[in-house]
Amino acid sequence: MTPMGKPVRPDLLTVFNILFIGATATLAAMPALVLALWRGRGGATLGGLSESALWATLLFGWFAFALSVMRPSLFSDDLVSVPYGFLLTFVGGIGVGWILIAVHPTVRRRVLEIPLEWPVGLQTARLIGGAFIVWAMLGVASWPFALIAGLGDILVGTTAPFVARAIARRPARARGWVVAHALLGLADFVIAFSSAILTKADLPWPGQMIPAFLVPLAIVMHIWVLVALWRSRDRRAIHKEEPGLSRQPQT
């Protein structure tokens, strides 16, 4: 094992970092793509394309801002550009997402209309957390934190397609599995952040994009699922109208 900061293969590290940024940018477009695909089931409309384009713009703006404020060390001496920027991307992202889901009529309606298997299935993207293990193998991340954060994300990402399939086939019976999966995903973040603090993990660049952008995005998706389940229960959509979780889009 090489000392931190001295990668085993600098060339491989550079290639992997480029691939990671590309994968992260792709994931930034996924929620908007889901919306576009869902709206397209009833026939493509100008309004649907405009709405998807708006969300894609907002998400890519968030992605670009997070990428610009992150530095090689999350806990650097530059308190303005790193910690404050991280708080803006992490807390701000979750806060804005929660507010939109809670009070914005269009977003609240979409939360109930889009089939739950779609946001649940998007958690498969959590597999990207395995990048921490790759960085540890390349010698630029500590193994204790990499294993805790990486394996937790892999667990959540691997089980996401199975939970999504269950909620698509039997919404009423799969409700408990969906809640458990969402709570598991949120607990994984708590454990990962706790381990980072306890082990004083120095995240390699661009690994900060995971806690600064992908983690709050995934948390918003979990909030989406839990809110949809709660509101659907209030409407008896799960028990009396199974199609309530997979209804056709409204134009």
Which residue shows structure tokens 């900060």?
208
Q: How far apart are CA 93 and CA 89, in angstroms?
A: 5
Instruction: Report the distance separating Cα 164 and Cα 189, nearest Å.
Output: 20
Question: Would you state the structure tokens that stand for residue 208, as one six-digit string?
Answer: 């900060």
Write out pLDDT tens, residues 23-67. Answer: 999 888 888 777 777 766 654 454 556 777 788 888 888 898 888
| Rounded distance between C-alpha atoms, residue 223 and residue 158, angstroms | 20
pLDDT tens, residue by residue, 89-136: 888 889 888 888 888 888 888 878 888 899 999 999 999 999 999 999
pTM: 0.83
Q: CA-based angle 121:35:238, to the nearest 5? A: 60
Of 217, 68, 201, nearest to 141 by C-alpha is 201
